[in-house]
Every structure is written in structure tokens, then in C-alpha cells.
Amino acid sequence: MTISHPPTPGTALWLYAHPRPDSLNGRIFREGVDTLAGQRNVLTSDLYAQGFDPVLRESDLGQLSGTHGNFAELLGDAYTQGQLALDVRAEQRKVAEAELLIIQFPLWWYGMPAILKGWIDRVLTAGFAFGDLDETGLPRRYGDGGLVGRKALIIVTAGEDGRSLGSRGISGDLDTLLFPLTHGVLWYSGVASYDLHVITDADGLDDDAVARELRRLRRRLSGIAEEPARLFRNLRDGEYRGTRALRADLAPGRTDLNVHLADDRRL
């Protein structure tokens, strides 16, 4: 089964993925944690500093290693039986406690660094983040699941300017690029996301620009408790009835990923 206890009010987990502590990202991490610590109990996962192993292996199954069957389902069994690796269980405890997740990373090759993807692979297992059924027999996913009741703020730095990452930019709209994270990972397991916090032109910011960005981040974090998170459509609402495709009468003629956003709904 999935997590049955609610998160601890006032607790945040700052998940950070950048190899250099003296980088712009390093400053954002330190100052962001300090700012948030004035409001909440802040847990941190500095993946590079921890030497977190991002590779999901057969050994992650513990004593179930070598057992025949679906690997994701076996990970769920390993979670239930307390067989997951100690580093994974430590990360799961932090996620379980946090009501706010801050996920910070640089945009590399149009996505997150591999160490962060590996953290997702190893930590958000069946049985912990997803895997059971609701009272109707529907999978508890997309708006439900093991991490329901939590919200996430994604902080991402990008070397390109805002126009390149806009709706008509050559690099593609950033919300669309990060849909696999906001919808496919977070919303899948029940976590609602705030609007992205994006720092563009990150490679060329001078000292004054860095100071402005840090002030902007501090303001954002100071008001995050009052900020509404955006919601995607919930699998349980019947809008995907019959199949996993959106009903034809909703957003007719559209095929963009924003069709999965819940109209005018915020949490």
C-alpha cells in the first residue's frame, strides 16, 4: 500500500541537483534554504554532495533480487518488506515528512540532470508513491496516490533567454518540456505544482542580475504559503472515462499538453 500518513505541517524538502557549490545554483540553494528556514523546518537532499547513486539496479530489490516478475512491482514488494537500500529509505522518509517539495536543477539537454532522474527512479517506488487502488478499483494516480497532499515548487536555471523557451521559441515552451516532471512524476503521485520558477540567461548574469534573481526568489519563497498551485485534471473525475485519453468534448480539436490542465482550478 501507499503512504497512509499525512505530511508533517511546516516541513519542506529541498531537493538539489548541481555538482558545483560555488555556482549560481549553489547560491540559490543556500540562500533559498536560509530563507525557507525562517518559515519552516527544512530538510535537504544535495544529491551530488551526498554522492547519491542514481542507477536503479537489481540489488535495489534487496532479498528479492533475482525474483521473477515485473521489476516495478517487485520494487513495491521490496518497499513493503523493508528491503530497499538504506539511502533510498532515507530519501523516502524525507519525502514522506515534507508537505512542500522544492526541486532545483539546471536545464541540461532540455531536461533534468541524470542524477535527479535517477533519484526519481529509485525513490518514488511502487508502494511508496503509487500502486494501490481506490474504492472503485481505479488506480490511485494522476491527482491521487502516495504523495497526495503535497505541493512542489520547481526552480530551474537555463542558459537561454526567455524568448527561446517561450511558446514560439526554438527550444520549446518550458512548461511543455517539463511536463514529464510536473505531470508524469509529481501529479501522477498526487503532488500539485506551483508555476515554475525560472531563471533564464543564467550563464551570463552579472553580479547585479544575480542579486535581483536572489531577491525575486526570496520574495517567492516568503509568499509561497499563500500562492495557489495549479492543478491538472484528476483521473478520478471522469474526464478520461472509458480510456486514458481525454474525452472528445473537452478542449475539442486541441492536442497540446495544456489540455490536461484543469480549467481555472487552483489549490
Q: How confident is the model at residue 171 (pLDDT cuts 50, 70, 90)?
A: confident
> Taking Cα atoms as reference points, which of 50, 153, 145 lies closest to residue 101?
153
pLDDT confidence of residue 2: 45
CA distance 5 to 180: 26
Using one digit for the tens of pLDDT, what is the confidence trace for 139-152? 788 988 899 999 99
Ramachandran category for residue 203: left, alpha or beta (phi over 0 → left; psi -120 to 50 → alpha): alpha
**Mean of the per-residue pLDDT values of the chain:** 91
pLDDT number for residue 241: 76
Neighbours of 53 (CB within 10 A): 16
Integer CA distances (angstroms), 167 to 47, 164, 175, 213, in order: 31, 8, 9, 22
Q: pLDDT band for position 20 (50/70/90)?
A: very high
Phi-psi label, residue 111: left if phi above 0, alpha if psi -120 to 50, beta otherwise: beta
User: What would the grid cell of residue 233 be?
Assistant: 485534471
User: Under DSSP, is residue 267 helix (H, G, I), strand (E, B) or coil?
Assistant: coil
Please report the DSSP string for 87-125 in residue order: HHHHHHHHHHH-SEEEEEEE-BTTB--HHHHHHHHHHS-
d(CA 240, CA 223): 34
Task: Name the DSSP class of 43.
Answer: E
Q: Nearest to residue 150, comparing CAs of 221, 226, 229, 219?
A: 229
Grid cell listed for 213? 534573481
Q: Residue with C-alpha cell 551570463?
A: 204
Residue with the three cell numbers 548541481:
18
Q: Which CATH class is domain 11-229?
A: alpha beta
HSE value, Cβ hemisphere, 13 Å, CA-based, for 41: 10
- pTM: predicted TM-score of the whole model, two decimal places: 0.92
**Residue-wise pLDDT tens digits, 189-200:** 999 999 999 998
Question: What gap in Å lies between CA 199 and CA 116, rounded to an integer?
Answer: 19
Q: How far apart are CA 94 and CA 108, in angstroms?
A: 26
Phi, psi of 236 (to 5 degrees): -80, -10
Q: What is the pLDDT of residues 55-99, one digit of tens each?
A: 999 999 999 999 999 999 999 999 999 999 999 999 999 999 999
From the number of C-beta atoms within 10 Å of its C-beta (0-12, 13-18, 19+), residue 27 rates as middle
Which is nearest to 102 in space by CA: 2, 255, 217?
217
